[in-house]
Structure 1
Amino acid sequence: MAELSDLPLRDNLVGKSPYGAPQAAVPVSLNVNENTHPLPEAFIADATAALADALRNVNRYPDREFMELREALAGYLGYGLAPEQVWAANGSNEVLQQILQAFGGPGRSLMSFTPTYSMYPLLADGTDTGWIGVPRDLNYAVTPELVVAAIAEHRPDIVVLCAPNNPTGTPMSLDTVRAAYDAFDGILIVDEAYKEFDTESESAISLLEGRHRLIVSRTMSKAFAFAGVRVGYLAADRAIVDALRLVRLPYHLSALTQAAATTAVKHAGAMLATVDAIRAQRDRLRDALVELGYTVHDSGANFLLVGGFADPSAVFERLRAQGILVRDLGIPGHVRITAGTEAETSTVIAAIADFGAAGTV
């Protein structure tokens, strides 16, 4: 059997590893920032009917422009968006990939501020786009001054700002977004995958008017509890959407995906009813871990970055042995923990409390 090294890979892929968050059938899975609450029964009933209707026509290609879904998403996002300003794909990763296919490529670069979402450099590699990672400040923030200085130094073609940031949870001010946009002539992406959990700052969608190079990316995987359906979307100028239509695969959103996602948006109130409960468990987890002596970074997302572990790898393995998955991201002294249900939060608090004082494991 051949090895990967036996194949004529592109040079920028040699030695790289694919994305690989651990997956295991455990009672408490808090490692990939899923919404761990069940979906509303009323939605499931309506979605089942919508999928049945879609199945009756799957011998035909789906609506290539998925206008019903785009209309629903535009209404959900608000800000006076037209359906033509909205685009969707199979998860926000595909949305980001299409952006890089259209605006990145050989001789062009993508810049972000690290630590941040681990897929950004992988998407850059996959599109032959150069990757530039700039360290965040000591509190993991990205200030207007930092972003302007980094753009001036590195002169990227595309900048992506994760807000709130994964894996740190750090929110981002609109002042930083404005400063980044004004600092260069390239494409600025604001990745708002966790925005529904952030009550402190307004969406960057509010800045779209008059900024034709600004893109705001969202996902239905987190707040909508739709991770298994794979739907991501964006809001931008119509010209941006036209550019993405140049690179998307034909009929890239299946009829079943369109039916399920459109139904979910119609049930947005019920689908998002767990958001407040998740925030409450996030804050409960934060308070409990701080009381135990751990460092918990401010988060506007559905997870916490927790410091104070002497050996994060050992913490991961010890928790996994108890049926609890958290995420070891290679940040010294830290693990990331998703906010789950009340019972899941109680389980992980009790498990970490058994470790003893911060820094002992």
Structure 2
Amino acid sequence: MTSLSNLPIRDDLRGKTPYGAPQKTVPVALNVNENTHPIPDDVAADIVAAVANAVHGVNRYPDREFVELRESLARYLGHDLTPAQIWAANGSNEVLQHVLQAFGGPGRTALGFAPTYSMYSLLAAGTGTQWLAGPRDDDFELSAETAVREIQRVDPDIVILCAPNNPTGTPLSIETIAAVYEASRGIVVVDEAYAEFMPTGSPSALSLLPGRERLLVSRTMSKAFAFAGARVGYLAADAAVTDALRLVRLPYHLSALTQAAAVAALAHSDEMLAMVGEISAQRDRLVTELAALGYLPHRSGSNFVLFGGVRDPHATFQSLLAQGVLIRDIGIPGHLRVTAGTEAETTAFLTALASLGHADEGTVPTTLNSQA
């Protein structure tokens, strides 16, 4: 049987590994930051009805410009956005891939601040864009001074900011985003996949869009809308940016069924987002109870918590898995990450973790520089 090494694959892809979180059937899966709450029955019924209606037209190609979906997304986001400023694709990963295809490529660079979402570097590699990993401050924070210093040092074509950051959950100040834009000559992408979980009143990078034609704000329906399986991501930017993304997208890239399902879900945005408060409450509960168990939870504005003080992350991960609880070992020394689930799921995780004993004090320093 032929192996990958025997194929004439691109040299820059040799030795790479694909993205992949463990997929296991367990009673409590809290490893990939999904919204574990089910879609309400009445919302599900409307989505099913919308998809069923769309099925009657699948003998024809879908609306290439997904106009109704863009109108719905513009209404949802507010900030006086117009449909012309909205782009969407099959998950925010495809949105970011379009961005890198249009503005990155061979001879160009993209800068992120590690640790951050692992797909950024993979998408960069897939588009022939050189990935640059800049440093963070202590406790995985990112100040304007640190970010601007790195931008001035490497002069990237694209900067990607994850706000709040994955996998650390760290919020990013609007002042840092504005400073990054002013310091950059190229595209600045703010990935707000977890924006709905930020405290009420927290400013979004959407507020910075007017007058900043190189600023792109990416969102997803996977998290707050419990739509991970539907694969719908989107961004807001200057209308000229969406014109650029049309040059690289595949024809009819969003199916009629995907468009219908997303529009139906957005029509119930208030009901869908009602669960966000419940999830945020469980996140805050995790922070409190992890600290009580002797661990070192980091500041989080997302639907998950990264916690340190873990003597042996792999052993702890396996011990929890043996009890039917799946979380994430993301490779940061002394740390694990857990998604905030339902109250019952959160209780199951905390109970399983407590059964392993109190965390050892001093396993990792309370201030940990992310370059380690």
Please give the range of the TM-score, normalised by the shorter of the 2 chains.
Answer: over 0.9
**3-state SS of the aligned residue for 1:138?**
coil
Query: CA offsets, 1:145-204, max 9 Å, x none?
Result: 011100011111000000000010000111111111110210000000000000162110
Query: CA offsets, 1:20-79, max 9 Å, x none?
Result: 100011010000000000101111111111111100000000000000000000000000
**2:248 is the counterpart of 1:230:** no
1:209-224 matched pairs, under 5 angstroms = 209-224=210-225
Query: CA offsets, 1:91-145, max 9 Å, x none?
Result: 0000000000000000001100010001000000000000001121111111110
List 4+ stretches of structure 1 deviating above 3 A: none
Distance 1:136 1:66 in 2: 38
- Identical aligned residues as a percent: 64
Distance 1:256 1:2 in 2: 37
- The unaligned stretches of length 5 or more in structure 2 are 364-372
Q: Give the structure 2 partner of residue 273 of structure 1.
A: 274
Distance 1:285 1:266 in 2: 32
Distance 2:79 2:45 in 1: 30
Q: Give the structure 2 partner of residue 134 of structure 1.
A: 134
Q: Compute the displacement of 1:315 (Å).
A: 1.1
Q: Give the structure 2 partner of residue 190 of structure 1.
A: 190
Q: Compute the displacement of 1:285 (Å).
A: 1.3
**2:260 is the counterpart of 1:291:** no
1:1-361 matched pairs, under 5 angstroms = 1-199=1-199, 201-359=202-360
Distance 2:58 2:263 in 1: 17
Answer yes or no: is the 8 Å Cα contact 1:294–1:308 preserved in 2: yes
Answer yes or no: is the 8 Å Cα contact 1:173–1:201 preserved in 2: no
Query: CA offsets, 1:268-309, max 9 Å, x none?
Result: 011111000001111111111101110000000000001111
**3-state SS of the aligned residue for 1:249?**
coil
Distance 2:21 2:184 in 1: 34
- The unaligned stretches of length 5 or more in structure 1 are none
Residue type at the aligned position of 2:185:
D
CA RMSD of aligned residues (A): 1.0
Distance 1:149 1:11 in 2: 32
Stretch deviating more after TM superposition (60-69 or 194-203): 194-203
Stretch deviating more after TM superposition (198-207 or 57-66): 198-207
Answer yes or no: is the 8 Å Cα contact 1:85–1:235 preserved in 2: yes
Q: Compute the displacement of 1:11 (Å).
A: 1.4
Residue type at the aligned position of 1:301:
S
Distance 1:237 1:207 in 2: 11
The number of residue pairs the alignment matches comes to 361
Q: Give the structure 1 partner of residue 367 of structure 2.
A: none
Residue type at the aligned position of 2:253:
H
Residue type at the aligned position of 2:217:
V
Q: Compute the displacement of 1:359 (Å).
A: 3.2
